[in-house]
Amino acid sequence: MQAHNNAYYVPPPSIWPIVGSVALLTLAVGFALVLNKVAVGSLVMALGAGILLIMLFGWFGAVIKESLAGKYARQVDTSFRWGMVWFIFSEVMFFAGFFGALFYARNLALPGLADAQSLWPGFSAAWPTTGPGLKTVITPVNAWGIPALNTLILLSSGATLTWAHWGLQKDRQRQLKLGLALTIALGILFIGLQIHEYGEAAFTIRDGIYGATFYMLTGFHGFHVMMGSVMLIVILLRSLAGHFTPGRHFAFEAVAWYWHFVDVIWLLLFIFVYCL
């Protein structure tokens, strides 16, 4: 689909941003109420989530409609690419913060606590630990069980997604759809195994710095896999609707970049959270 002309498309006024703001405000108020045990909180949160869903449908719907109508000239396409790149960079920095917390705790905070023998007699900085004040002994998840399997699954999903992309580039729609479906299946399998692992784990988020860093890092990663899976499902549905051509399929590529980013984060998690 060709753009009508080369002018940069400036969309007409849109209701969705303000709807999104109302959604986030409602969600935040609801969450604050839930955290402070106000009964109505979960209702307010559900309302906020509902408004957010409506906004996402409406906003992305408008973008897809404009894209199909050929309104996005090449320059707009470049904007979308840059936008996604910088969004992923912000996500990298988000995870970098939590990895930083993990490294700080292991290499600076715990040795410091172990040095303070007059305060915490007998405490040594061995990892995993729940810290000097909590006496729980941590049995970590065996890295070569489910986590290794999950590594294999996510890496394979990266491969199937690339295979799907090749299909799209060569206009083999069957390969595209099959590749996407496989990727989604692997993503959901990953999430299922992760939930199973959480259920089996012998420690909780309350168990000292180990539990905190473990669940924070793997939890946020798992949340990103879920988001990525939803995005892939949308892309599959759009593929079924025939939205993508070998020449124009930025939405597919954006989601693929995101999926590979989530993949790389998992590799770092596997090394620094599970193995080391």
In the DSSP assignment, the letter for residue 130 is: -
Is 159 a binder of another protein (CB under 8 A)?
no
Q: Are 54 and 82 spatial neighbours (Cβ–Cβ below 8 Å)?
A: no
**What tokens does 209 get?**
């710095």
Binding marks (x or -) toward another protein, 92..121, rule CB under 8 A? -xx-xxx-xx--xx--xxx-xx--------
**Toward another protein, which CB reaches closer, 69 or 195?**
69
For another protein, which stretch binds (CB under 8 A), given 67-75, 194-202, 235-243, 257-265?
67-75
CA neighbor of 179 nearest in space, from 169, 165, 193, 189: 165
**152 or 227: CB nearest another protein:** 227
> By C-beta, is 128 or 169 nearer to another protein?
128
Select the residue interacting with another protein from 149, 205, 233, 234 (CB under 8 A). Answer: 205
CA-based end-to-end distance of the chain: 50
In this chain, which of 121, 122, 133, 247 binds another protein, going by CB under 8 A? Answer: 133
Site for another protein, residues 216 to 245, rule: CB under 8 A: 216
DSSP strand E in 71-221: where?
none
Is 71 a residue that touches another protein (CB under 8 A)? yes
17 binds another protein (CB under 8 A): yes
> What are the angstrom distances between the C-alpha of 261 and each of 17, 105, 199, 264, 267?
27, 25, 26, 5, 10
